[in-house]
Amino acid sequence: MDSNHNSQLTVHDATLRDGQHAVQHQLDVSQLRAYAVAASAAGVPVVEVGHGNGLGASSRQIGYARLDDATMLETVREALTGSSRMGVFMVPGWGTGADIRQAAACGADVVRIAAHCTEANVMRRHLGIVRELGLEAQAVLLMSHMTGAERLAEECRRAVEYGAQAVGIMDSAGHYLPADMTERIGAIVAAVDVPVIFHGHNNLSMAVANSIAAVEAGARVIDACARGFGAGAGNTSLEVLVAVLHRSGHETGIDLPALLRAADVAHDRLMAGPPVIDSVSVASGLAGVFSGFKPRVLAAAGAAGVDPLEVFAELGRRQVVAGQEDLIDEVVRGLKVAS
């Protein structure tokens, strides 16, 4: 048992941001408000909101949101009470410094800057802007299974040099197993002196187990979504995670009965039903492909009469990442010709 075993964790609730992928970024004002009120009543420390791909990402390429960024942020900010803080997410290239400044004006408290797992250098300017604005600056590495523990630790160390006050990794494809957490989170914890973040996806039904393994390896900020709301097989289930953390003796400061009520609100108000781990989700996780590709892969493969599992396998071989959605059609065409 590590020395931090009983120290309080920060559970970062991404329901109103990452969950947007499951509904093509179409949550409305009433839905955002209803869930934010319920999460805040449960004492959730950070409630993240926005387009699924973050600030400035609403676009033809990856999907227009129902609401603009300012409306989403202002709605949630007004709904949060007590100690709950509001978080936002941004990927340089989709979002800009102007988007960060707008988020600050709308009351954001925590700003996460994200980049591909080997490209922390692209975060430098934006982390600096966050710090200049007096907000909490965090850095996360996407598609982190695409490189090893030592490189992840080095990229996180660079992010701290650029101003990040917490750093970590996202299992964007739901590819990890608990042993991977022990290795990767352990290496990052040893390399930095700020809290370490883990964000899991559930393609292989390991998201909660991986999150617990990350905590045992020293992570102190863990992401989750109510009912696992999110693209494909979904994210780490928030209410299950908190229940398991409490059962394991880890403090979160969250009122679990109130959180279960918030999860019911999410179930009833935000989604048609909780995410399901289907064959395509498993194929995506094994191939190490971003879960958000699922709708487009199914549509393109169906139209061309090719096997979507083969599409995911080829996308995995090419190490395609979010932002390269155009390659889905190329892969489908190639498979159709080959057949």
**Residue range 46-53: average pLDDT?**
97
Q: What is the pLDDT of residue 186?
A: 98
pLDDT score for 324:
82
246 is catalytic: no
Label residue 5 by pLDDT band (50, 70, 90): very low
Spatial contact of 161 and 135, defined as CB atoms under 8 Å apart:
no
Write down the catalytic residue from 21, 25, 116, 201: 21
- Say how many CA atoms lie within 13 Å of 165 toward its Cβ: 12
Q: Is the pLDDT of residue 83 over 50?
A: yes
Question: Could you give phi then psi for residue 185, rounded to 5 degrees?
Answer: -65, -40
- Strand, coil or helix: what is 265? helix
Model pLDDT for residues 223-279, shown as the tens digit of each residue: 999 999 998 899 999 999 999 999 999 999 999 999 999 999 999 999 999 999 999
Q: How far is it, in rounded angstroms, from Cα 57 to Cα 73?
A: 14
Ramachandran region, residue 274 (left: φ > 0; alpha: ψ -120 to 50; beta: rest): beta
pLDDT digits (tens, 9 = 90+) for 296-327: 899 999 999 999 999 999 999 998 887 788 89
Question: Residues 21-25: what's their mean pLDDT?
Answer: 95
Task: Provide the pLDDT confidence category of residue 7 given band limits of 50, 70 and 90.
Answer: low
What pLDDT score does 290 carry? 83
> Which two structure tokens, joined as six digits, stand for 161?
């040099």
Give the model's pLDDT for residue 322.
Answer: 73
> Would you state the pLDDT for residue 293?
84
Average pLDDT (86-97) is 97
Rounded percentage of the chain residues whose pLDDT exceeds 70: 98
Question: What pLDDT is recorded for position 4?
Answer: 44
Instruction: Tell me the per-residue pLDDT of 127-169, one tens digit each, with 9 for 90 and over.
Output: 999 999 999 999 999 999 999 999 999 999 999 999 999 999 9
8 Å CB contact between 331 and 308? no
Residue 3, pLDDT > 70, answer: no
> Which pLDDT score is estimated for 295?
83
Does residue 292 have a pLDDT over 80?
Answer: no
- Residue 170, pLDDT > 80, answer yes
Residue 12 sits at φ, ψ, to 5 deg, of -105, 115
- 338 pLDDT band, cuts 50/70/90, is confident
Return all residues near 202 (Cβ < 8 A) that are at least 6 apart.
174, 228, 233, 234, 235, 236, 237, 275, 277
